[in-house]
Amino acid sequence: MYCIVTRDPIDTAGLLRRVRSDADGAVLIFAGVVRDHHEGRAVEALAYEVYEEMAVEKIEMICKEVASRFEVGELAVAHRVGELTVGDISVVIAVAAPHRDAAYKASREIIERVKGEVPIWKRERYSDGGEVWRDGAVPDVPEAEKP
């Protein structure tokens, strides 16, 4: 398991090599990319901010839970933060598995949970000059334990 938050470009091919082992018949790479529009507005650039220590722990926990539920081999997640422009890869999820069904399911679950639970935020800068913190997902907070 390899989970990082980084300010540098993500080495996608390196993550593929890192997760694959001889027992795996499938490797799935999801790459999230900065696109040029959001809800009808032209996007020029993004700044990602992170609560780094917690984010890495959260991503590791997500990977552990997903690995326990699906028959997968190695997992890797790399999330980029800092200033990104259109076309830059913001996140890569790499999943290796003996069979493809588990790879697709695990990959999908990891990206959904990364988007929904990990303390990372993005500020979008639009071509029309505006700049806002992009609206996001509200993480679930565990119930208090009964006394």
- Of residues 13 through 52, those in contact with its own copies by CB under 8 A are 13, 16, 20, 22-37
State the binding string over 28-47 for other proteins (x if CB under 8 A, else -). ----x---------------
Amino acid at 113: R
Contact partner, 107, from other proteins, its own copies, none, Cβ < 5-8 Å per class: its own copies
According to the binding rule CB under 8 A, does residue 69 interact with its own copies? Answer: no
According to the binding rule CB under 8 A, does residue 53 interact with its own copies? Answer: no
CA dihedral 109, 23, 92, 112 (to 10 degrees): 0
Contact partner, 13, from other proteins, its own copies, none, Cβ < 5-8 Å per class: its own copies
Beta-strand relationship, 41-50 and 75-80: unpaired
Residue 55 tokens read as: 């984010």
According to the binding rule CB under 8 A, does residue 86 interact with other proteins? Answer: no
Please give the backbone phi and psi of residue 98, each rounded to the nearest 5 degrees, phi first.
-60, -40
Please identify which residue in the block is written with the tokens 């003996």: 98
Q: Which one, of 30, 26, 33, 31, lies nearest residue 100 by Cα?
A: 26
According to the binding rule CB under 8 A, does residue 134 interact with other proteins? Answer: yes
Residues that bind its own copies (CB under 8 A): 12-13, 16, 20, 22-37, 86-87, 98, 100, 103-104, 107-108, 111
